[in-house]
Amino acid sequence: MKISVYYTPESTPENEIPDCAVVIDVLRATTTIVTALNNGAKSVKAYSDLDLLTKESNLLPPESRLRLGERGGKKVDFCDLGNSPLDCTVETVSGKQLFISTTNGTRSLQRVQEAKTVIAGAMINYQAVVDYLQEKQPETLWLLGSGWEGGYSLEDTVCAGAIASLLVDTGKPDMIGNDEVIASIALYQQWQDKLLDLFKLSSHGQRLLRLALDDDLKYCSQKNITDTLPIQTSLGLVSLSN
Ligand code: MLT
């Protein structure tokens, strides 16, 4: 397994695609996707374009679909929900097909949607991601953060580091695809017991705090509260792995 960490979809090498990509948007898109599937949503389809989301979700009867939309941390007006994992309760999402568009996370999912395997990872399920990768041993693996509008994010990098720290054997430099792997592991080692503190320092964490979403930050900073593993089953659509 050769592992590379990319902080944003924009920083990935052009015209390349890995065997397996783990898409990470800890605050909050992939945490929300994991939570929704854990709480019984049938599937989640990701869109970067809200018009397309509207058009495709209109093909389903209202009672079997939910639209989740976020821009700048806020709920998109016409959507049923924003992007808070705390809104994805069993009562709300069970049995529903979800259609989601967020500022950054859905763009990361789209960047790697042609990969043989695409997984959604977050702090709340990273051990399940590691277990899957250890079993499947993909030849090339990208841990892909979402960042914020093309820029670096602490929360996605620390999650990539949590995953990489359990996979990389530093005695085998051939496993290390780029320097970001070691940098992300170092960030994780420094902050692993203070993730909420780190998220409060991050720029998107501060944006969410300004929107009074403190509970979202707290929820997203928990480690491995579920073994739910969202995996892409058709282009842009993730469901539970079997
Ligand atoms: C994103 O995709 O940029 C995020 O998930 C933003 C958020 O809703 O916190």
Q: Each residue of 166-183: pLDDT tens digit?
A: 999 989 999 999 999 999
CA distance 103 to 69: 9
Does the residue 183 lie in any domain? yes
Note the pLDDT of residue 27: 97
**What confidence category does residue 90 fall into, taking pLDDT thresholds of 50, 70 and 90?**
very high
pLDDT tens for 57-75 read 999 999 999 999 999 999 9
Q: Which two tokens stand for residue 229?
A: 């593993």
Which residue range is the domain that position 86 belongs to? 2-231
Pocket of ligand 1 contains residue 105 by CB under 6 Å: yes
Q: Say if ligand 1 is within 6 A of residue 102 CB.
A: yes
Residue whose CB lies within 8 A of the most ligand 1 atoms, among 33, 83, 86, 215, for a mutation test = 83
Examine the pLDDT at 241 and tell me if it is beyond 80: no
Does residue 242 sit within a domain? Answer: no
Identify each DSSP E strand in 125-188 by its residue range.
Answer: 140-145
Q: How many structural domains is the chain composed of? A: 1
Residue 67 placed within a domain:
yes
Cα-to-centroid distance, 155 and ligand 1 (Å): 12
18 lines ligand 1 (CB under 6 A): no
Domain-embedded: residue 137: yes
Mean pLDDT of 222-227: 98
CA of 86 to the centre of ligand 1 (A): 14
CATH of the domain at 118: 3.90.1560.10
Residue 242 has pLDDT above 70, yes or no: no
Mean pLDDT of 140-149: 97
Q: Is residue 47 part of a domain?
A: yes
Identify whether 237 is part of a domain: no
Burial class (CB in 10 A: 0-12, 13-18, 19+), 4: buried
d(CA 223, CA 75): 26
Residue 24 phi, psi dihedral angles, 5° rounding: -125, 125
Q: What is the DSSP letter of 103?
A: S
d(CA 157, CA 26): 9
Instruction: Determine if ligand 1 sits within 6 Å of the CB of residue 25.
Output: yes
pLDDT for position 212: 97
CB of 27 within 6 A of ligand 1: the answer is: yes
φ, ψ dihedrals at 32, nearest 5°: -65, -45
With respect to residue 240, please indicate whether it lies within any of the assigned structural domains. no
Question: With a 6 A CB cut-off, is 67 part of the ligand 1 pocket?
Answer: no
Q: Which of 8, 26, 28 for mutating ligand 1's site (highest number of atoms within 8 Å of CB)?
A: 28
Burial track 56-76 (b if 16+ CB lie within 10 A, e otherwise): ebeeeeeeebbbbbbeebebb
Say yes or no: CB of residue 83 within 6 Å of ligand 1: yes
**175 CA to centre of ligand 1 in angstroms:** 30
Three-state DSSP at 196 gives: helix
Residue 141 inside a domain? The answer is yes
